[in-house]
Each structure stands twice: as C-alpha cells, then as structure tokens.
Amino acid sequence: MPQTDEYVLTGGRVLLPDGRLEPGTVHVRAGLIAGVGPVDGAGPGVERIDLDGRIVAPGFVDTHVHGGLGHNVMSADEPALRAIGRRLRVAGVTSFVATTASVPFDRILHSVRGLAGLLGPTGAGGADLVGIHLEGPFLSPDFRGVHQREQLVEPEPERIGALLDAAGGALRVCTIAPELPHAESAVRRLAQAGVRVSVGHTAATFEQARAAIGWGARRATHLFNAMPPIHHRSPGPVPALLADASVYLEIVADGLHVAPELIAALAALPGVRDRLMLVSDGTDVSGLPDGDHHRWEGTPVRLTGGRAFTSSGGIAGSTSTLADGVRVLLAAGVPLPVALNAAARNPARSLGLTDRGAVVIGRRADLVVLDDEAAISLTIMHGQWELP
C-alpha cells in the first residue's frame, strides 16, 4: 500500500475512454488522476507500484443496490450503509445508488429523508453513496415482481412533490410504469428536476414506452425483467427502449435474470453496447448463507446456491456483484473492455457523473485493478487503496 498520497501504477494495461486496453501507467496524486500514458511521467522519488500485467479500469458504479449482508438501504441507518458500502467496494464498486422497495408511502418518505443525509463515503472505506433510486411504488400490479401489490400507488402530483421535497436533490433515478394514471405529468416533472426516470415493472405497450421517452424517460429498469416479452405482433416496451439512443439499459447479468447469450448479442450492437449498464439489483440477503430469510419489507425468500427465490420459486432479486456480471459477460464472449465499460463508464454517464467513470487526467482516482478473468486485486477510491 502506498505510503503517500502520490504514486504511479505501472507495469500494467489501462482501459482508455475509447475502449482500448493499452500498456501504460496511471499517476495518482491527491486523490485525482494526474497522468495517464505509455510513459511514466512522474518525477523521481514518487512511489511506483508494479501491476505485473494487470488492468487498471474505472471503479464500478452500481446504480441499483437494495442492500447486502442482512442490511437494507431503506433502514437509512449509517452502520447498515457502512456494511453495504464495504461489501460493494471489496467487489470493485466505488459509487452506488441506494434503491428502495414498495412499502407504505410514509415509510418511503422517511427512508428518502434519511438516505439524503448520508450521501458521500459510507464510512470505513466504503463505496460512495451518490443518490437514491426509487424503485416502487409507481409500478404495474401485473409486473410487480416481489413488490407487494397493496403498497403500489399512482404517481399523483402530490406524491411526486413530497418525494422531491424529502430527497432534497438526492433522488437520482425513479422507476415508473408509464401506463399508470398521472405518469406523464410525473415523468415530465421528475425529468425537469434532474431525476433520471426509468421505465420498469411495466405492462406498457411499444407506443406507451415510446411516449414515456418523449416525456423525458432516459433509463430502463432491469431490461427484460418485470415487463412483457417481445412478440412480433405485440412488441411491448423492450424494442422501444432498445431503439432510442438516449435510453440507458440496466441489465442484471447474474446468469439467471437474462440469458448471457442475449446480453452478448446486445453488446455486439454498436448502437446498444454503450448504453448497457450492469446492475447488481443486490438485495439485503446478498452475501448471507443458503437457507430461509426475510427481506427488510417482510418478503420471505430462500437462498439456494447463493441465489434468492420466493416461496413460489420466482426470482427474488439478485445476490450477485458487478464483478460477477463482468465475468458472466466474459464467459458469453463479450470483450473485456465492453464488459468493463458496462460496469463503470456507462452507468457513470447515465447519472451525469463527470468526475469519475473513466481513466482520464483530472478525474477522481476511483479505480479497480483486475486480471483478464475479472478477478479483482484491489479497489482504489479517491486515491486510497482497498484490498479484497
């Protein structure tokens, strides 16, 4: 571990913003990237760390995290966020968005207020909490997944106003089913406030999804999951979301939610690969041993082989990490730079985070060092090291 706030990562390969992996060095000083290039330009006396051929990439950005290790972000509890943030960072995540569930609306407001006061480093070296993703309660009853039907409500103007007031600018993403009453006014108001509206948990038709994009929606919540499948005579929302270059696309790449070969096919399309975003959708039971558990909102789940299922056998969120997702993509034949960009650059761009997400001079030194199989050696956040 470096003994100063200035050092050089040398002897490795660097993931450049254009997607190339090139031999080079990264110079870190005072928490920022001070130099990137084929030649070590740092002066004498600066500590050098030999990477032995490993890769330097941007730190991962997970825009859909519910919890982990028995903790849920909706507790808005600082020790819980610390435990979640530490687990994420060890897995290469340097920034994340705390994602809610569908519970009584007053509890949502309470959680949002609490989370808004916890933005920033999650303590003890944990990943940065950069905002809130409201997933529920503005969802389709028919595509609610594990969200409780009785907690689903319409995005009426007074509810949207209350959420924006409670968040105080911390609301980064809001999932809405665009076919719901009041959806148009809600999407327009949220987009105007700088919130990234995400189409998800929806029964929307192609036309309704395309209309939502016109209103200002710019994301898809776990594409393919909790929405109608594509049919050649009734295409549904997926083709509309894929076709629009302004829409970023969440993908849960745990080998269960979406077939890896389908993700690989999307990653091969030039107009789509730069919009694919790996998300963990990690729930509070992530990292717990196999067996019966209850999620924070009361949903009973069973962990089998590290995967979470409802009592009826349905998928109950994910327990994987973004590093797991990168490895799933690699096994499906996706080039490593494309997989790494889906874990770092693309989600950072989707949130408008211009100070991270790329190995570029002047950006935060939020970096991950890993090998060609995506085994992580260390995570660097604002220049500080964390060994896995």
**Residues of each annotated binding site for Zn(2+):** 135, 201, 222
From the list 264, 275, 95, the residue with the least C-alpha distance to 172 is 95
Tokens 């999650």: give the residue. Answer: 122
The CA-atom distances, in angstroms, between 149 and each of 145, 174, 209, 322, 385 are: 9, 18, 22, 29, 44
Beta strands in 70-139 (DSSP E): 71-72, 93-99, 120-121, 128-135
Identified catalytic residue from 62, 281, 284, 366: 281
Q: How far apart are CA 235 and CA 209, in angstroms?
A: 11
CB-CB neighbours of 245 under 10 Å: 9
- Residue pair 28/365 in contact by the 8 Å Cβ criterion: yes
Task: Report strand pairing: 367-370 vs 55-58.
Answer: antiparallel
Torsion of CA 111, 117, 121, 127, to 10 degrees: 20
Q: How far apart are CA 370 and CA 385, in angstroms?
A: 13
CB-CB neighbours of 286 under 10 Å: 26
The two tokens of residue 346 are 């693309």
First to last CA, the chain: 13
From the list 183, 236, 235, the residue with the least C-alpha distance to 214 is 183
DSSP state at residue 124: T
User: Residues for the chain: how many in total?
Assistant: 388
From the list 67, 212, 207, the residue with the least C-alpha distance to 135 is 67
Q: How far apart are CA 248 and CA 235, in angstroms?
A: 19
- Residue pair 157/186 in contact by the 8 Å Cβ criterion: yes
Active site residue 355: no
Q: Which residues are annotated as a binding site for substrate?
A: 146, 225-226, 233, 257, 315-317
Q: Which residues are annotated as a binding site?
A: 135, 146, 201, 222, 225-226, 233, 257, 315-317
Residues with active-site annotation: 281
